[in-house]
A = this chain, B = another copy of it.
Amino acid sequence: MRFFSDNAAAACPEVMQSLADANSLDTAYDGDRWSKRLDAAFSELFGTEVAALWVATGTAANSLALAALCPPFGSIVCHRDAHIQNDECGAPEFYTHGAKLLLGEGEGAKLDTDTVSALLATVRSDVHQTQPAALSITNATEYGLVYSPQEVSALGALCRERKLGFHMDGARFANAVVSLDCSPADLTWKAGVDALSFGFAKNGGMSAEALIFFRPELRDATLYRRKRAGHLLSKGRFLAAQILAMLEGDVWLRNARAANAAAATLAEAAGDRLVLPVEANEIFLKVSPDEAAALRAQGFDFYDWGPGEARLVTSWDSDPAAVATLAAAIARL
């Protein structure tokens, strides 16, 4: 009963079926009929014309997006706890050829306009400093909070005012959309987002993520960057097929709902132990080492998250029985 990471979950049946369906001879790279459907599928989902590219990882999606928005001599505002800062081994620096990340604070890995404005104010507008060129937020955040459309909109307005590109790391975009019960459009381009890393792997996919540009003109250079980074898979149809399978019939929402519901169950059981509200599929708990050991003794696996805290992540396939058992165990602590 592992609650380590949604990264570790299985791929959902629709995704597995899509691989079988796509397993025929077709054009290599992204010339196949699945890949060619991505633009239309996402344009329909978002209600606006978008450019949609598959990649194999969220790190690649994030870094390609940032490279499209920020020159080598620019900087990217993000939260100090952002995945792009802490968990990608400098991929944004690699892809942007050395841009800097400008780190802000904020509870639960969330940034607000005051924080961003204050950060921007620390930068002198001279050639001795890299100039901010983009803002990147994660929704849902690395701590399981969500930005509402209004919050994103406020940041988006700031980006427009300060001429910053706006990127959303949506590794758990589905969980955010489900949590907010909002439209994907309201949470993104209508709120000023230029590029979205739309995550599928954590949500029941096998090996595919989508990079969505709401300014389709950002696509062209990115196609070269993707190839050059070794991310133009020769049998790209297997990535496109996964993504299409999850869009069809709203599997992506169904999966996220399951993960969020499991998290909600655990959150309810946790009560005062919660370090942060549970708004998506991550739960941060105050637990003593003894309590953590007790939970593990019952067969539950999870990460310690600093002293006296633990992180649990639910996923699309979290077993309801295991979740219920864990909820009870937490309540019993």
For residue A5, CB closer than 8 A to chain B, the reply is yes
Copies of this polypeptide in the complex: 4
Which of B5, B10, B55, B100 touches A230 (beta carbons < 8 Å)? B55
Q: Mark A285-304, 1 if CB is under 8 A from B, else 0.
A: 00000000000000000000
* Contact between chains at A89 and B8 (CB < 8 Å): no
CB distance from A104 to the nearest CB of B (A): 13
* Contact between chains at B72 and A223 (CB < 8 Å): no
For A130, what are the chain B residues with a Cβ–Cβ distance below 8 Å? 89-90, 224, 228
A229-B227 in contact given A128-B88, A238-B206 (Cβ < 8 Å): no
Closest partner residue, chain B, to A11 (CB atom): B23
For residue A190, CB closer than 8 A to chain B, the reply is no
* Contact between chains at A207 and B56 (CB < 8 Å): yes
For residue A273, CB closer than 8 A to chain B, the reply is no
Q: How far is the CA of A91 from the CA of B2 in the complex (A)?
A: 38
For residue A28, CB closer than 8 A to chain B, the reply is yes
A235-B221 in contact given A7-B29, A90-B72, A91-B229 (Cβ < 8 Å): no
Q: How far is the CA of A228 from the CA of B234 in the complex (A)?
A: 21
For A228, what are the chain B residues with a Cβ–Cβ distance below 8 Å? 72-73, 88-91, 94, 98, 130
Chain A interfacial residues counted at CB < 8 A = 71
29 A-B pairs with CB atoms under 8 Å apart are A4-B27, A8-B26, A8-B235, A9-B25, A10-B23, A10-B24, A11-B23, A56-B230, A56-B233, A57-B231, A57-B234, A59-B230, A60-B229, A60-B230, A61-B230, A73-B90, A73-B221, A73-B228, A87-B129, A88-B230, A89-B129, A89-B227, A91-B227, A91-B229, A93-B93, A94-B98, A98-B228, A128-B227, A202-B234
What residues make up the interface of A, taking CB atoms closer than 8 Å to B? 2, 4-5, 7-11, 16, 19-20, 23-29, 55-61, 63, 71-73, 75, 86-91, 93-101, 127-131, 201-202, 206-207, 221, 223-235, 238-239, 317
Contacts A5-B28, A207-B233 supplied; 8 other A-B pairs, CB < 8 Å:
A11-B238, A71-B224, A73-B90, A73-B221, A91-B227, A98-B228, A207-B239, A230-B231
